[in-house]
Amino acid sequence: MNLAVKIKNFQLRTPIVCASGTFGYGEELKGLVNFKNIGAVTTKTITINSREGNPPPRIYETEYGVMNSIGLENPGLSGFLAEKLPRLLKLPVKPLVSVGGFSQEDYEQIVKALETKEEIEAIEVNLSCPNIKMKKMFSQDSEATYNLVKSLRAITKKTFIVKITPEVSDITEIAKAAQSAGADAISLVNTFFALGINIETKKPYLGSVYGGYSSRAIKPLALYKVWQVYKNVTIPLIAGGGIETANDAIEFFLAGATAISIGTINLVYPDRATDILKGLKDYMKRKKIKDINELKGGMVS
Ligand SMILES: Cc1cc2nc3c(=O)[nH]c(=O)nc-3n(C[C@H](O)[C@H](O)[C@H](O)COP(=O)(O)O)c2cc1C
């Protein structure tokens, strides 16, 4: 039975990727997870300068999902390279380094610096960061997405994955722009905008008022976006949003995912990749599927 997948030159021994911001820098989870069941661990998004993030509270759990407004807290590029990366590289799992920025120059600087690190095979560029000039996220604008991806593509020879927001009227336009500018894969979905208000205090639950919604509440919304994008691009998708079980993961493969990502569920069950992998194997055995890649886009309609 084959469970390995390939995202351009990035070979993953299992099709399960731990999503950015939900798995620290890998090392924090040592002793709690079986890394051999994980295809890659995506780091928290790193930026050029260190960031403290947004004011608390930064996480609020609803009945069906989780809202967060972490605000890209991270040690910055130099802190990452000095402290986090060496420890991550000692783990028996592939790292996928997530980078962010607030201008094209920010992204160019960080990708240039990572390009010199041979141990890093793949970069995920988080285009859900706000562009200071545009006052919206890069991936909310197909031209900004195209221009940024094109310039970064010229800098990096590594497997170059572009993560996009679902907060657009037509996500296929953004995905197509990323593909035509040279992205090797698309990662989706990032969180949906969300707001919660405490009716007693009349204040928002999150310190920065609104945040990003994730977890099981978004699964059908995310699955729809993934299916839409799959029909419009030819590059592989790392897809997720609300995946908690193997059955959820199978839906994403059937909608077009090459690999799946698990996020919020890691905060509660850090070794959930192990359960999902087992469930995938059981399903493949039951359906007589020899290769996980056979499932991709296999929805019958
Ligand atoms: C606490 C938290 C922090 C996150 N931080 C990041 C981040 O730094 N960069 C990023 O690209 N996505 C970030 N995300 C989004 C996740 O990577 C994922 O795309 C999203 O939560 C949807 O998947 P899920 O429903 O499985 O969590 C974060 C999500 C959560 C819950």
187-223 confidence digits (pLDDT tens):
999 999 999 999 999 999 999 999 999 999 999 999 9
What is the CATH topology of the domain spanning 5-295?
TIM Barrel (3.20.20)
What is the structure's pLDDT at 142? 97
Which residues does the annotation mark as catalytic? 129
Characterize the bridge pairing of strands 192-195 and 210-214. Answer: antiparallel
Q: Per-residue pLDDT tens for 77-121?
A: 999 999 999 999 999 999 999 999 999 999 999 999 999 999 999
Instruction: Give the residues of the chain that fall short of pLDDT 70.
Output: none
Please give the pLDDT value at position 129: 86
Report the pLDDT value the prediction gives residue 135, as an integer from 0 to 100. 87
Write down the pLDDT at residue 107: 97
State the pLDDT at residue 133.
Answer: 84
Nearest atom (ligand 1) to Cα of 42 = 17
Distance from residue 288's CA to the centre of ligand 1 (Å): 33
Q: Is 92 exposed, middle or buried (0-12, 13-18, 19+ CB in 10 A)?
A: exposed
The ranges assigned to domains in the chain are 5-295
Q: In the prediction, which pLDDT does 132 show?
A: 79
Residues whose beta carbon lies within 6 Å of some atom of ligand 1: 19-22, 44-45, 66, 68, 70, 72, 98, 126, 128, 163, 190-191, 214-215, 218, 240-243, 262-264
